Amino acid sequence: MAKTLGTERHKALIALIIEKREAAGLTQLELARKLGEYQSFVARLESGQRRVDVIEFLELSEILDFDPYKGLRTISRIE
């Protein structure tokens, strides 16, 4: 299996998370607090330095109020 950090799909995932956070009107700090994490956790995630696992993705979708399945379908179309 190839490394995933920095791939087009990973970049699309990060862009989706940033878009949804901004649409929710949250700062990185506010999102981090809702996740029970430090702001640096969100910063590393959004800068692409960190992978997002499935459980984290589902939690993000709940907090940011978006359909995780629709998001994954969009990302899965990217090659």
Using a cut of 0.85, tell me whether the model's pTM lies above it: yes
Q: Does residue 44 belong to any structural domain of this protein? A: yes
CA distance 77 to 58: 19
Q: Does the pLDDT value for residue 9 go beyond 70?
A: yes
Number of domains in the chain: 1
pLDDT surpasses 80 at 2 = no
Give the per-residue pLDDT at 61. Answer: 97
Q: How far apart are CA 51 and CA 56, in angstroms?
A: 10
Residue range of the domain that includes 40? 8-76
List, in order, residues 6 or more apart from 35 with CB less than 8 Å away.
41, 42, 59, 60, 63
Residue 20 lies in a domain: yes
Question: Distance (Å, rounded) from C-alpha 61 to C-alpha 71?
Answer: 9
CATH of the domain at 65: 1.10.260.40
Mean pLDDT value across residues 25-46:
97
